[in-house]
Amino acid sequence: MLSRQMVLCSRLGFTPSTSTAVFHTTTTNSVLPRAKPLDEEMPTSGRSVSKKQRPDTQILDLSGKRHKKDIDIIVADQYLQQWYKMETKSLAADYLALCKSKLSLFVASTATCGFLMAPVPVAAAPLAAATIGTFLLSSAANSCNQLLEAPYDAQMRRTQSRVLVVHRFSPLHAFTFAGVTGLTGIGLLAYYANPLAAALGALNWFIYAVYTPMKRSHIGCTWAGAVVGAIPPLMGYSAATGYLDPAAWCLATILFSWQFPHFNGLSWNLRGDYSKAGYRVMCVTNERLCRVTSIRHSLALLGLCSIAAPLTDLTTLTFAIDSLPVNAYLVYLSYKFYKAPDAKNSRRLFFYSLLHLPLIMLLMGISNYGRNEKQKEPIVERITNGYTSMVESIKSLTA
């Protein structure tokens, strides 16, 4: 009986153990039979290529003076083609998706509002340049955004169908598109408007390129993104006037503060996706700060529209009164989001923010229809008068 067990152990590769265990394994000298190498894997004389080499491969020659031996690496074309191969069914639709056309139109509308709020007569060519140039620069920035975030967009359910993720656009084509649209937008602003508007557009493009990777490294990315959203109205204002005064900065601050309830309301229900992709936004790293920032900037919008805008001669007192219910409801929704941060309240805050900004811009335009001559004074007089009126208003409130 013992002999039969020893024969069985030897066949199975087991040997008796001297430890408390019954058996332990030992290595055997059995090896798999060597497979015959493929023809394309066989070394060739010199740098010649085998006749049986696959047609979908290329050879990268890495030999040089520093190498004693010739080194060739065979790289399949499918990896090289990822930089230029496109599998699009509707090129026009994919272009619109790459540039996020709806978002770019929204950004261009803020530049148009800035142009119309400037205290100068409306000129057709600079207005068109401000609108189209801002749209092109926004398209370039959004293309760069998708180009840099394609690996992370693939991890999030909301963005996993973007054109670069599903390979309807190649990285090389997207990079070329971003360069052409961005430089064209800067050229339009410089030629038909003025260099200040073009410089602001170039600066905004650069800040957006820095802001995109910042989302994965620091919570301050939301503030950087708010700066990006505040510059387009400055571009429109400067395209009309050639300068920036307190009214322009007030308009930009309104757009800056609007970004926080808008983005925080959007991002709250996407915390899982943002966390999975490694984004360090407020809703992931500091939920309380996300809620506090939303209500804080909603209150700031109330003060900016009803106090700062008339004091800087950006609008008339009509706008200060008309905008009160619009901003008060935003404060109410932000407060509800602060007290009960659930999916319903965050969604209501986000969707109302999409309605809030167009209403504010519309009320601005209505209140400034037929502006008086004081609002068309030179910049020095406007700054002096605005500062004086602001001081007088503060004195009258404290008296």
Backbone angles phi, psi at 205, to 5 degrees: -60, -45
Residue 249 lies in a domain: yes
Pair 163, 277 in one domain: no
Domain annotation covers residue 19: no
Query: Would you say the pTM of this structure is higher than 0.75?
Result: no
Query: Which domain, by its residues, includes 271?
Result: 245-369
Model confidence pLDDT, tens digit, residues 269-319: 888 888 888 888 888 888 899 999 999 999 999 999 999 999 998 988 889
Give yes or no: residues 250 and 337 share one domain.
Answer: yes
Q: Is 268 among the domain residues?
A: yes
Task: Kindly state whether residues 288 and 203 are assigned to the same domain.
Answer: no
* Within-domain flag for 129: yes
Residue with tokens 């509707």: 90
Q: Is residue 167 part of a domain?
A: yes
Question: Do 161 and 268 have their domain in common?
Answer: no
Q: Classify 46 in phi/psi space as left (phi over 0), alpha (psi -120 to 50) or beta.
A: left
Q: How far apart are CA 176 and CA 163, in angstroms?
A: 15
- The total number of structural domains in the chain stands at 2
Whether 337 is in a domain gets the answer yes
272's CB contacts (< 8 A; 6+ apart) are none
Q: Are 249 and 354 in a shared domain?
A: yes
Tell me which DSSP letter residue 321 carries. Answer: H
Cα gap 367→136, rounded to integer Å: 30
Query: Which residue, 80, 39, 37, is CA-closest to 56?
Result: 80
Mean pLDDT of the chain: 80
2 lies in some domain: no
Q: Is the pLDDT at 114 greater than 90, yes or no?
A: yes
Closest CA to 171 of 76, 81, 80, 84: 84
Amino acid at 327: N
Residues 206 and 273 in one domain: no
Tell me: do 169 and 278 sit in the same domain.
no
**Which tens digits make up the pLDDT trace of 41-97?**
455 544 444 444 444 444 445 455 554 445 444 444 454 455 556 666 778 888 898
Q: Is residue 49 part of a domain?
A: no
In angstroms, rounded to a whole number, what is the distance separating the alpha carbons of residues 16 and 5? 10
Query: Does 203 lie in the same domain as 256?
Result: no
| Whole-angstrom distance, CA of residue 202 vs CA of residue 224 | 15
CATH label of the domain that carries residue 198:
1.10.357.140
Provide CB contacts within 8 A for 320, sequence distance 6+.
Answer: 305, 306, 307, 309, 310
